[in-house]
Amino acid sequence: MNGILIREAQPEDAKDIIQYIERLSAEPNIYIAMSPGEFGKTEQQEAEILRSFHEEQNAIYLIAKKETRLVGMIVCAGGHRKTTSHVVSISMSVDQEFRKQGIGKLLMEHAVQWAKNNPVVTRMELLVFAKNEPAIRLYEKFGFVVEGRHKNAIFRDGVYLDNLSMALLV
Q: Could you state, in order of their start, the residue ranges of all structural domains in the chain?
A: 4-169
Q: Which phi and psi (to 5°) does residue 155 adopt?
A: -120, 110
Kind of pairing between the strands at 123-129 and 87-94: parallel
pTM of the full predicted structure?
A: 0.92
At 74, is the secondary structure helix, strand, or coil? strand
- pLDDT digit string (tens) for the chain, length 170 residues: 678 999 999 999 999 999 998 888 877 777 777 766 667 788 899 999 999 999 999 999 999 999 999 999 999 999 999 999 999 999 999 998 999 999 999 999 999 999 999 999 999 999 999 999 999 999 999 999 999 999 999 998 888 999 999 999 99
The residues with which 75 forms a beta bridge, in sequence order, are: 61, 91
Half-sphere exposure of 133 (CA within 13 A, CB side): 0
Class of CATH domain 4-169: alpha beta
Distance CA 170, CA 21 (A): 29
Distance CA 88, CA 80 (A): 10
